[in-house]
């Protein structure tokens, strides 16, 4: 697809991380119970009920929709024994969980459940949350009730009713495999990284399968006749400790066009990748296009610009000739009484970059792994 065709698309950039970022000094600006305020903003001890005696557990679920094409991670989960619901896995949302208010009312999920208003946002405390084989006690964990009708009106999001944020994912080693279309969560009290992969090749040296190898599993290999297997270990990419500790956000350092280093939020809830305005002024070519419509995480539509960069490099991974987006000014409004802070020198790394890789965010160890891209992988292989 050519550049002109690309920029005509409505690029949905879901900047939860920027809209709901709160300064460290504001963590306790909540009227009422101070301990509840602390629970709301500090990392929460989410513990699966089926943790093994050695303090470890792992679950793997199939992603919904078309993650390879669209760059979104949608998964099925259940709230307090409800039927399966579809959630967006959004590392740019630095809370634990969010649920569409209309859906919650329609399904009577709010009947007899404790609610509390924090920063003008209604929160509810459900008994449990189940994803895959993990059932987690969320009775002291706030789930945001939000109006997500705007998001459900987007193509491919009609059945999405909630959000799993980085506040939920952080205690786990989270692997989002856009190629195999699976989400894996590993909990290990020893906080070991899960970074190994087994690559299976056929007789013609064609890559036909990728087997994630967590610290808890020993795969049984079934090689094609004349085929071979190889084990890879990706290079860890450190997360910014400030953003991990103070804002509960996965942030990495990347290089644009070989010469310009900047920090990027890893935002699995964003379809497009954005760069800071100051960086765009240095690299934007004459081919920049204005008037690109962008939908923010609160449903507001703003206009920005699109341009093409020669390269975007994260760790040892590199993509070339990417279309990226930027804005004239900070487009983010004051939201629900929260003081919004937009890092002027930070970009957003969205699905158009991430979907080329198997992305592992190791929250306990503060590192990210990018494995791939596997452009030669056979379509539809398991």
Give the CATH number of the domain where residue 107 resides. 2.40.70
Percentage of the chain lying above the pLDDT 90 cut: 25
Q: What pLDDT band is residue 188 in, cutting at 50, 70 and 90? A: confident
Calculate the CA dihedral of residues 97, 236, 175, 80 and round it to 10 degrees.
-30
Q: Is the pLDDT of residue 327 over 70?
A: yes
The verdict on residue 224 lying in a domain is: no
| Together in a domain, 32 and 160 | yes
Q: Which of 119, 153, 171 is the last residue of a domain?
A: 171
List, in sequence order, every residue forming a beta bridge with 345; answer none if it has no partner: none
Helices (H), 163-294: 166-169, 241-242, 277-283
Judge if 61 and 147 occupy the same domain.
yes
Report the pLDDT value the prediction gives residue 257, as an integer from 0 to 100: 92
Q: What is the CATH number of the domain that holds 250?
A: 2.40.70.10
Band of residue 4 on the pLDDT scale cut at 50, 70, 90? very low
User: What is the token pair recorded at 358?
Assistant: 């198997």
pLDDT (average), residues 66-75: 88
Per-residue pLDDT at 376 exceeds 50: no
Same domain for 264 and 159, yes or no, is: no
Return the residue matching tokens 């513990």: 47
Query: What mean pLDDT, rounded, does the chain reach?
Result: 75
Tokens 């630095």 correspond to 94
Q: Residue 111's domain spans which residues? A: 24-171
What is residue 314's predicted lDDT score, i.e. its pLDDT?
92
Three-class SS state of 274: strand
The residue among 130, 149, 171 that closes a domain is 171
Q: Alpha carbon of 33 to those of 112, 120, 122, 257: distances in Å?
A: 21, 15, 15, 49
In the chain, the number of structural domains is 2
């Amino acid at each position: 697809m050519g550049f002109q065709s690309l920029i005509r698309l409505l690029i949905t950039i879901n900047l939860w991380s920027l809209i709901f970022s709160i300064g460290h000094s504001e963590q306790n600006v909540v009227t009422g119970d101070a301990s509840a305020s602390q629970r709301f903003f500090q990392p929460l001890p989410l513990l699966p009920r089926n943790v093994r005696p050695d303090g470890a557990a792992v679950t793997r679920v199939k992603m919904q929709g078309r993650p390879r094409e669209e760059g979104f991670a949608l998964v099925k989960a259940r709230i307090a024994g409800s039927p399966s619901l579809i959630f967006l896995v959004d590392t740019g949302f630095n809370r634990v969980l969010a649920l569409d208010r209309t859906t919650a009312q329609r399904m009577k999920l709010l009947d007899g459940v404790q609610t509390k208003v924090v920063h003008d946002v209604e929160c509810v405390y459900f008994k449990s949350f189940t994803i895959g084989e993990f059932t987690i006690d969320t009775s002291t964990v706030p789930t945001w009730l939000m109006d997500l009708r705007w998001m459900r009106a987007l193509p491919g999001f009609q059945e999405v009713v909630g959000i799993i944020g980085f506040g939920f994912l952080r205690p786990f080693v989270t692997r989002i495999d856009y190629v195999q279309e699976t989400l894996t969560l590993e909990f290990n009290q020893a906080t070991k990284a899960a970074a190994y992969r087994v690559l299976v090749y056929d007789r013609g040296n064609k890559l036909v399968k990728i087997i994630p190898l967590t610290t808890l599993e020993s795969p049984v290999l079934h090689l094609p006749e004349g085929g071979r297997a190889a084990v890879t270990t990706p290079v860890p990419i450190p997360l910014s400790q400030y953003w991990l500790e103070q804002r509960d956000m996965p942030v990495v350092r990347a290089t644009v066009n070989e010469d310009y280093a900047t920090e990027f939020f890893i935002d699995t809830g964003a379809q497009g990748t954005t760069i800071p305005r100051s960086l765009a002024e240095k690299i934007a070519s004459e081919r920049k296009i204005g008037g690109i419509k962008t939908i923010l995480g609160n449903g507001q539509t703003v206009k920005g610009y699109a341009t093409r960069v020669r390269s975007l490099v994260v760790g040892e991974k590199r993509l070339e000739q990417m279309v990226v987006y930027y804005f004239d000014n900070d487009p983010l409004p004051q939201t629900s009484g929260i003081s919004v802070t937009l890092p002027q020198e930070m970009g957003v790394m969205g699905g158009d970059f991430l979907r080329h890789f198997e992305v592992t965010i190791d929250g306990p160890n503060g590192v990210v792994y990018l494995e791939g891209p596997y452009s030669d992988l056979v379509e539809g292989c398991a």
